[in-house]
Structure 1
């Protein structure tokens, strides 16, 4: 005769509960079922009729149950008392819900418990050691009163807690009790369970726990410490909760995950998981051998799932999970490089850089007229168009999408004060960004512009103000990007050394030195142009010290080595 009996608390998916009850009863285990009183009478009668052919399945008095209230404890008490009274050979009582699913043959559970006849399996931890409570109530759940429903009367619940805290109202914990918390789903011995149910002080204890918050996670968990001689503080039921305290639901694609846990029972199972019910309710001969129950083997997967749910993937933004600003798990998903001022100083700089780094090199992605994708494509990876108006609707989303859609390939793009400046702070605070700046090169195109000098002077003043603001951001204490800044005069003195430094950061594993430098634009007359700006009342300060008469020249090309023709 089996020595294990089951108590089931059911309120939905009664057809699945009937399958599980029949599975346990078919192995000879008695089952007592509590059905929520709020279940319609017709559904209850159909449920009872479906199990009427089983002599070892019974139903207890029904209570209207609600999450986190005394009604759940009362239902467990009533069903457990009936099970113990009618089946005197039962040595262990296993509490389960209608959403639970056996993961192993009943015979293995019976054998496991028979080898531990005096052991109570119940998670029972003191409030000081609990790290999973949600809602900010640990010790206070035992010292305050909770007359209102947390789910249905949330405003009254919060107001009641706040008032009791303000008035410093405290309940006294019954003498000798040390409050403990743990999972609702336990497996207790007859000796311990009957001692709890037959305690002479039970009316007083019930009155106390009736006003405790979520008593189904503390009533048996606390009282078992008074009577049990051997407790294993763990549940034989696999139940996982997310960061909000809500239970994980298992679906058909969790089949291998559940098998890997080696637990005897799991909750909470989706009612339509036909594959799970078909696999685990199969005859014992069709199920593989299992080891000691060890839900910790899958804890790593759940921890990763929680991290993915709360932090997301670096650089990925989506409607289902849009992080708060500056609380992202990485602003972008991969490293990228920004070249500020290089395209004004060098001719065909994009082509040269693409050969040097072997990555994708764009023009000015934030240019005012259009997005200058590499090769001047009109549509880029991820269906990103070159429309400036669409880009400017959300420039940050444009940049993060570009980096996400091209992950695995280094992206480089040009920048200048003429471009949209909205992403300046975003890029500067992005650890994935590498920013190289040559200040003052925006003046080179102006020096060759065919326009009234007064208009050129106003434009120069505007661009210098924008670049100064950008430089202030890049020199801020909040910057997380890797930033290198040269003045134009400093860079022109030794361009190869500066370029080699930038390229080495992009491709650190490449030992090759640069074989050629990009061709620098003709700077003849540039010093005089700067002096003309000064003469007209505009002081250019970002170019460095350029002489007026002796214009800096690009370094002379090394002459070809002479050779002999034979």
Structure 2
């Protein structure tokens, strides 16, 4: 057992192992408090099959962990002739099943070594960019204490193409440091005539505790089963998962013999495990598949995030999000300009929240025009504009219903590229519809021309974005003349695309006054502004002509 801190818990685990029938050899990090060491030795003094080996400094990634394991294993084999297997655990490992179960299991496999051992080029799970390089380079500096020296020395070795000579007959292997070897295999490793040569080589390998025994076991073992009997899972950064009290049921269902790593204050786990022997010891195989699936799903969730949810690991780094938004939403441009009372009419025909102009410059127009919208979002335009992407992503996530909102060249255009490159966006545009409110505004014509120029320029930029090769949204564009020529069919396609039933559409909403629109466009041309993407309207259209019949 390798112990570093929380020695009172380690002592409790030693007692579990010893009272279960195991002999225990303990190595305590030389940097641990001497007061805690003395107390641990005093607490375990009544156990005859517990010994303490010489103490060495143990630092992650350095050779001291291998030397500590060698010392503890040597003492165990020298003191106890009846030992048949040597299992490496830590002070934070918790036996989940009775030790007698493990004894029964190993008795069924007296010559089998349980050690994860795979070749370096095939392993694929190392984190940090050093796989084969850990065997070909030298690593004299601590990764944690001297990171700059560590990185600089690695970079230098890469630059000069440095290659260490691997001892003849060794094929580097990697695997979990938590193994269980037969007495014959561990004795062969410790008494190998070439051990000084192997030790010199591995003393400058990076993280040698994950390769020393894994490599040498291949040299001496009769039968290797490449797996660990200790349940140890790691996240996407290579850090071990910590088990807490609420993991109790999953740990019990796994049927594993030992779990690592346990939160020191998980009193529920420490009081519940190991489970007692019910009738006789069970040699049943561990079944960690379900727990592994859950943990792998958690790793994936942490790496990828949830769709449309921005968090510190992915924001504000571009293209690190897992989906710009979480689900489908609709954007309608020009419909409010053309139809009166369009929002309530559309809300009755869609299973969706139909909002006004969410990107309006004055304030956010939620469906009920309230000051607080879905997800407790504020109607403040200033707050929205601090992070428009986050505003839209949070709005889409906040409700179980689809979110549909109006858009216009009069609104803020900060989200144009965001929505155009979002596969969840459903965008429908009636180009030129912005002219309808101007037609009926009653403003002086000079003001109308100036505003028309601004709105048309904004709309042209939006359409150019929607025609980009980077487009991922589903887009449908009509010019004003095309839409007004076949309004019912166009609206049916909109309702169908947003999840409604076009057969139940009924009558269209009331249309705003369009009489004189052709003459209005001609007047803009005469004033030097060329209307674009409006379609063809007759200049001689009689006043008062109804649009729809």
Q: TM-score, normalised by structure 2?
A: 0.97
The offset of 1:320, in angstroms, is 7.2
Q: Say if 1:283 and 1:246 are closer, same or farther in 2 by CA, change over 3 A.
A: same
* More deviation, 59-68/296-305: 296-305
Work out the CA distance in 2 between the residues paired with 1:428 and 1:332.
12
The residue aligned with 1:464 is 456
Work out the CA distance in 1 between the residues paired with 2:547 and 2:280.
79
Matching residue within 236, 259, 267 for 1:243:
236
Residues 316-362 of structure 1, C-alpha deviations (whole Å, 9 max, x = no match):
23457646233211111221111100111111111211122242211
**3-state SS of the aligned residue for 2:428?**
strand
* Paired residues for 1:89-168 under 5 Å: 89-168=82-161
2:338 counterpart of 1:345: yes
The residue aligned with 1:522 is 513
The residue aligned with 1:562 is none
Contact 1:20 1:281 in 2 (8 A): no
* More deviation, 264-273/449-458: 449-458
Q: Say if 1:105 and 1:434 are closer, same or farther in 2 by CA, change over 3 A.
A: same
Contact 1:500 1:513 in 2 (8 A): no
Matching residue within 322, 329, 334 for 1:329:
322
The residue aligned with 2:412 is 420
2:194 counterpart of 1:206: no
The offset of 1:389, in angstroms, is 2.1
Work out the CA distance in 1 between the residues paired with 2:427 and 2:161.
57
Matching residue within 257, 261, 267 for 1:274:
267
The residue aligned with 1:300 is 293
The offset of 1:479, in angstroms, is 1.3
2:20 counterpart of 1:12: no
Q: Say if 1:289 and 1:479 are closer, same or farther in 2 by CA, change over 3 A.
A: farther
Residues 1-54 of structure 1, C-alpha deviations (whole Å, 9 max, x = no match):
xxxxxxx00011111111111011112211110000111211110110010111
Q: Say if 1:288 and 1:435 are closer, same or farther in 2 by CA, change over 3 A.
A: farther
2:170 counterpart of 1:188: no
Q: Say if 1:421 and 1:151 are closer, same or farther in 2 by CA, change over 3 A.
A: same
The residue aligned with 1:484 is 476
Q: Say if 1:328 and 1:144 are closer, same or farther in 2 by CA, change over 3 A.
A: same
**3-state SS of the aligned residue for 1:375?**
coil
Q: Say if 1:132 and 1:387 are closer, same or farther in 2 by CA, change over 3 A.
A: same
The residue aligned with 1:560 is none
**3-state SS of the aligned residue for 1:161?**
helix
Contact 2:308 2:324 in 1 (8 A): yes
Q: Say if 1:206 and 1:140 are closer, same or farther in 2 by CA, change over 3 A.
A: same
Work out the CA distance in 1 between the residues paired with 2:411 and 2:280.
66
Matching residue within 537, 542, 546 for 1:546:
537
**3-state SS of the aligned residue for 1:382?**
helix
Work out the CA distance in 2 between the residues paired with 1:546 and 1:290.
86
Q: Say if 1:328 and 1:39 are closer, same or farther in 2 by CA, change over 3 A.
A: same
Work out the CA distance in 2 between the residues paired with 1:320 and 1:209.
35
The offset of 1:364, in angstroms, is 1.1
Contact 2:21 2:100 in 1 (8 A): no
Contact 2:427 2:475 in 1 (8 A): yes
Contact 1:434 1:483 in 2 (8 A): yes
Matching residue within 411, 423, 433 for 1:431:
423
Work out the CA distance in 1 between the residues paired with 2:298 and 2:516.
63
The residue aligned with 1:178 is 171
Work out the CA distance in 2 between the residues paired with 1:392 and 1:210.
56
Q: Say if 1:132 and 1:499 are closer, same or farther in 2 by CA, change over 3 A.
A: same
Contact 1:262 1:290 in 2 (8 A): no
Work out the CA distance in 2 between the residues paired with 1:286 and 1:317.
52
Work out the CA distance in 2 between the residues paired with 1:196 and 1:291.
29
5+ residue gaps, structure 1, are: 1-7, 557-566
The offset of 1:282, in angstroms, is 5.0
Residues 520-554 of structure 1, C-alpha deviations (whole Å, 9 max, x = no match):
11211111111111111111112111111125632
* Paired residues for 1:31-70 under 5 Å: 31-70=24-63
Stretches of 4+ aligned residues off by more than 4 angstroms = 286-290, 318-321
5+ residue gaps, structure 2, are: none
2:499 counterpart of 1:507: yes
**3-state SS of the aligned residue for 2:89?**
strand
* More deviation, 176-185/319-328: 319-328
User: Could you say what the CA RMSD is over the residues aligned between the two structures, in angstroms?
Assistant: 1.7
Work out the CA distance in 2 between the residues paired with 1:169 and 1:554.
80
Work out the CA distance in 1 between the residues paired with 2:529 and 2:119.
73
* Length, aligned pairs only: 547
The offset of 1:76, in angstroms, is 0.5
* More deviation, 428-437/375-384: 375-384
Contact 1:121 1:186 in 2 (8 A): yes
Work out the CA distance in 1 between the residues paired with 2:226 and 2:372.
60
Residues 104-127 of structure 1, C-alpha deviations (whole Å, 9 max, x = no match):
101110011011111111111111
* Paired residues for 1:378-389 under 5 Å: 378-389=371-382
The residue aligned with 1:444 is 436
Work out the CA distance in 2 between the residues paired with 1:290 and 1:463.
77
